[in-house]
Structures are given as structure tokens and as C-alpha cells.
A = this chain, B = another copy of it.
Amino acid sequence: MKIAVLPGDGIGPEITEQAMRVLTALAGDGLSVEMETAPVGGAGYDSAGDPLPEATLRLCEQADGILFGAVGGPKYDTLPRAKRPEQGLLRLRKHFDLFANLRPAIVYPELAHASTLKDEVVAGLDLLILRELTGDIYFGQPRGVRTNENGEREGFDTMRYTEGEIRRIARLAFETARKRQRRVCSVDKANVLETTQFWRDVVTDAHQEFRDVELTHMYVDNAAMQLVRNPKQFDVIVTGNMFGDILSDEASMLTGSIGMLPSASLNARNFGMYEPIHGSAPDIAGKDVANPLATILSAAMLLRHSLGQEAAAQRVEGAVRKVLAQGFRTADIAEPGKRTVGTREMGDAVLAAL
């Protein structure tokens, strides 16, 4: 099995390196994974003038899954939009039709203190945000800056969702909830936006086939509040690309352990791209202080969802829980009385725990 590893920028290379060590260590188990790296984002621009170089895309096409680090950095901020690092990400999502973004927001008991929310509000939190990733105002046409009918300049974008796009993500939400607490909350702004009234109608219709799953609807402004007020009320939240971008970041920050959270972006064939939800953190890049655990957990998701290696995935997740229990902490989750280690040493600890 072949994995394309795209380290990207900032801390991307050092965190993906630890995940690759973990995948290599699993090889003993009769699991043979071949890994090849290629530049993306700012690194793609630097090496080939393109945030998604042709060779990188070809490598991904030949792979069974993609492990992605992080992209972006101040030196790329002034580039024209098409050359900017995040375009590499957006183009990969679109090219492989990775419509389903799974973002778990889990509070590890050992790390609950790190949340800015009170312990009782977040202890035991286990919420999954399912964000649609290839539609919505992210890709809708027309868009641009124009002179309007009154001779004034204006910026404009188009939000749109087709029935098919909504139905497939809704189905996946219900299927996913069946393996959890069987509760789906669909988030929209149906009181204002036509697209999301349509979203609500299609989700409600798709629910007919999943009567054993509870479906509720919530406006996005209320959802942003409820995540702060009582996040444990949710099991699976399903929403569009734009609202999902905002709510999933809010939800991950609730946990206090953003350096711990992986994500998966899947298409209908279970091909996927796996990445930590945190960013490229240029300020600490190359200093061996970044937390590699979110990337290692992303590799576990890759094993599970794209390679069908559930046992190997659980071994990796078990090893991560063990190093936390052993008291290993990177700087972002440091705690008095626990052992603060660097990126590589955390990788060592996970390897030892495997």
C-alpha cells in the first residue's frame, strides 16, 4: 500500500516525520506501507512555482491515501491568491472530490485542564463535526470584484448546494451516527438563506431512510452559542463548508488540546487526505517543540478509513493514549509535574509504546 506524504510548510515536515516513523514501525505486523513525500503549499511554490505541483498531484493519484502536514507562512502572504499555499489544499480537495471532512473534537481526560472551559463542561466531550468540503461558497461561481449597476465597485461570491451534494453528506452523517450515539444535528441558517433552507429540506428527506437516528436542526448562530454553553449535547453535527469551517475550529478549541486533533477528508471511494487540524505554526517551525500527536492520529485515521487496517489504527491510538498516561507532554500541553518533551522525543515515546 502506498501513502503520499505532503509535509508542507512550517512545522509540517517535523510532525509528518514522526508519523512516518510510526507507520514504518507497523511494517513488522505484515502491514507493508510504502511512503513517498512531495512538496505542497509554500514548499510547492518554492520548488515548482505552484502550491500544488503537477508531480505532487500525480504522486497522490497513484497513492492509496494522503498524509498532509500543514501549509502557509508569512513569506507567502503577499502572493497572488492562485499561488498561495492554501490553494494547494483547496485544489486537492476538489480534485479528489473529498466531500466529507470528519473532525472529531475529543477531550482526553489527561488534558481536560488545558481547556479554557470549566472541567465539568468539557470532561468526556466526544463530538464529531462532519463538514461538507467541496461545495458551498468556497467554490460557487460567479465570484469576483466588479463595478455594479450603480457604478460602484463590489465584491461578490455565490453560495450554492445541489440536492446530490447535500444528500450524500447527509447520508454519511446518518451512517456515521449509527456507529455512535445515533444523533445528528444539522446546522444551517434556513431563516435567512435559500441555500440552507434547501439544505434543511434535503437533509430532512434523506432522514426517511434512517429513522433509527435522531435528527435535529439548529441555526448556525445558535450552534456557535450551544458549543460554548453545553458542547456535550451534541453527537454528530453535519453542516456546509463555510459554517463547518467556523464551527469545527470553535469546537476544537473547546477541547484545549488542538495539538491532539486529527481530521480526515474522504471521497465516495474512501480515498482520503488526513491532516492535523492545527496550522503550520511558522513561529515554532524547526525548533523541535511542535506536538506530532495530531499527525500521528491522522495516520491512524488513514489506516482505518483508507487502508482498512482497523487493528493497526487502534494500536496507534492506544500508543498515543499510553504516552499521555505516562506523562509525556509537548510544550502546548505542558503541565507541572509532567515531562515536557520535544517533537522527536514524543515520536520516540509513541514508538516505544507501540
Which residues in A have some Cβ–Cβ distance to B below 8 Å?
81, 84, 86, 90, 116-118, 121, 137-138, 140, 143-145, 148, 150, 152-164, 189, 191-199, 220-222, 224-230, 242-243, 245-250, 252-254, 258
- Is B155 within 8 A of A197, CB to CB? yes
Closest to A231 in B: B116
- Is A249 within 8 A of B222, CB to CB? yes
Closest to A196 in B: B155
Given contacts A118-B116, A156-B160, A162-B148, contact A224 B198 (CB under 8 A): no
Closest to A241 in B: B192
Residues of B within 8 A of A242 (CB): 189
- Is B155 within 8 A of A194, CB to CB? yes
Residues of B within 8 A of A150 (CB): 162
- Is B249 within 8 A of A224, CB to CB? yes
Closest to A244 in B: B221
Given contacts A221-B245, A225-B250, contact A192 B155 (CB under 8 A): no
- Is A225 within 8 A of B198, CB to CB? no
- Is B163 within 8 A of A154, CB to CB? yes
- Is B154 within 8 A of A156, CB to CB? no
- Is A143 within 8 A of B194, CB to CB? yes
- Is A194 within 8 A of B157, CB to CB? yes
Partner of A138, one of B157, B164, B192: B192
- Is B246 within 8 A of A228, CB to CB? no
Residues of B within 8 A of A193 (CB): 137, 143, 155, 157
Closest to A135 in B: B154
- Is A154 within 8 A of B161, CB to CB? yes
Partner of A116, one of B148, B159, B222, B228: B228
- Is A224 within 8 A of B195, CB to CB? no
Residues of B within 8 A of A246 (CB): 220-221, 224, 243, 246
Measured CB to CB, the closest approach of chain B to A277, in angstroms, equals 10
Interface centre among A224, A226, A247 (most CB of B within 10 A): A224
Partner of A162, one of B154, B161, B197, B253: B154
Q: Besides A155-B193, A159-B159, 13 other CB < 8 A contacts?
A: A116-B121, A137-B192, A138-B192, A143-B194, A145-B194, A152-B163, A153-B163, A154-B160, A155-B195, A157-B195, A221-B248, A228-B250, A228-B254
